Structure 1
Amino acid sequence: MESYLGLQARAWHGQRAALFRVRTAVVDVYMSVSRSNYGNEERAVVEVDCARFFTLWRGAPGSEHAALARGNPQTWRADPRFELAAEGFSFGEADPVPLAEVSCPPGAAVPYVAFTDGVIRTLWLAAYAAKSFPVECAAHEAEALQRLAGTAGSRWLSVAELVPPQMA
């Protein structure tokens, strides 16, 4: 996973997170994923190729975000929420934005991805020519997402692998 930088200690409650750097045409931005109290083995991170990911997203049946998926950098930048993503990314490594959360149902008749959270962050990355970026999905969907849109030579990892529990 090329974008993975390692563990980052967070100021609040001694929490740690997996830190990622995403290269764009304008600036490197930072994203992260943290452990939760449970289910870290069931959550996965997949580094996706932007073009392949958007192809899958555009194929989502009945997507509420279909118009955004089929948009382009000019239309994405016109969305009033676009500046919120820019603001979120502006805090850099000190306060990385959360990974987008997606689903990629294995065995779907027509493969697709859908968003749970992070549409505008993803559009911001695409608008500024990120070639790849990490996303979070359910572990049982990670293999399909990796095969369909993952970056070459990478493999998906569970949140438990990326952010092991702290030893007392």
Structure 2
Amino acid sequence: MESYLGLQTGAWNGQRVALFRVHTSVADVYLSVSRSNYGNEERAVVEVDCARLFRLWRDEPRGEHAGLANGNPQTWRADPRFELAAEGFSFGEHDPVPLAEVSCPASAAVPYVTFTDGVMRTLWLAAYAAKSFPVECAMHEAEALQRLAGAAGSRWLSVAELVPPQVA
């Protein structure tokens, strides 16, 4: 994973996180994923190509975020929530924003992506020309997401691999 920097201890909670740096046209921004109390082997991180991810997102059959998925930087920046994403990214590597959470049902007749969390963060990254960035998905969907939208030369990893348990 090109954007993966390594482990970092969170400044405000002391929890270890996997830290990622994403290049944008305005600045490098930082994202993270942390262990939870369970399910770390069932969560994966995939570094996606922005353009490929958006093509899949536009195919989402329910059209839950169709207006946003089919928008452009001008329309995204006009959304009042866009500034919340900007604020989140403003804290830098000492308080990185969580990865967006997506779903990529492998059994769908027409492949698509839908968001559980992180729509505005993703739009902010796209508006500022991030070519690729990491997202979180279920382990059983990681292979399909990698194949359909993965950044060239990257491979997915489980959260358990990225953030191993601390030894007491």
Q: TM-score range by the shorter chain?
A: over 0.9
The amino acid of 2:83's aligned partner reads: E
Match of 1:145 in 2: 145
Task: Give me the whole-angstrom Cα distance separating, in 2, the residues matched to 1:51 and 1:61.
Answer: 18
Q: What 5-or-longer segments of structure 2 have no aligned partner?
A: none
1:10-89 paired onto structure 2 within 5 Å: 10-89=10-89
Cα deviation, residue 132, structure 1: 0.2
Cα deviation, residue 62, structure 1: 1.1
Task: Give me the whole-angstrom Cα distance separating, in 1, the residues matched to 2:128 and 2:161.
Answer: 30
Task: Give me the whole-angstrom Cα distance separating, in 2, the residues matched to 1:128 and 1:10.
Answer: 26
Q: What 5-or-longer segments of structure 1 have no aligned partner?
A: none
Task: Give me the whole-angstrom Cα distance separating, in 2, the residues matched to 1:163 and 1:57.
Answer: 28
Normalising by structure 1, what TM-score?
0.98
Task: Give me the whole-angstrom Cα distance separating, in 1, the residues matched to 2:53 and 2:162.
Answer: 22
1:83-162 paired onto structure 2 within 5 Å: 83-162=83-162
Counterpart contact for 1:102–1:137, Cα < 8 Å: yes
Show CA shifts across 1:24-81 (max 9, x none): 0110000000000000000000000000000000000012100100000000000000
Counterpart contact for 2:11–2:94, Cα < 8 Å: no
Identity %: 86
Cα deviation, residue 103, structure 1: 0.1
The amino acid of 1:58's aligned partner reads: R
Normalising by structure 2, what TM-score?
0.98
Task: Give me the whole-angstrom Cα distance separating, in 2, the residues matched to 1:53 and 1:12.
Answer: 32
Superposition CA RMSD, Å: 0.7
Cα deviation, residue 11, structure 1: 3.3
Show CA shifts across 1:139-168 (max 9, x none): 000000000000111110000000000001
The amino acid of 2:147's aligned partner reads: R
Q: Structure 1's 12 and 83: CA in aligned 2 closer, same or farther, altered over 3 A?
A: closer
Task: Give me the whole-angstrom Cα distance separating, in 2, the residues matched to 1:11 and 1:20.
Answer: 16
Counterpart contact for 1:45–1:142, Cα < 8 Å: yes
**SS across alignment from 1:52:** helix
Query: What is the number of residues matched between the two proteins?
Result: 168
Counterpart contact for 1:63–1:114, Cα < 8 Å: no
Show CA shifts across 1:120-153 (max 9, x none): 0000000000000000000000000000000111
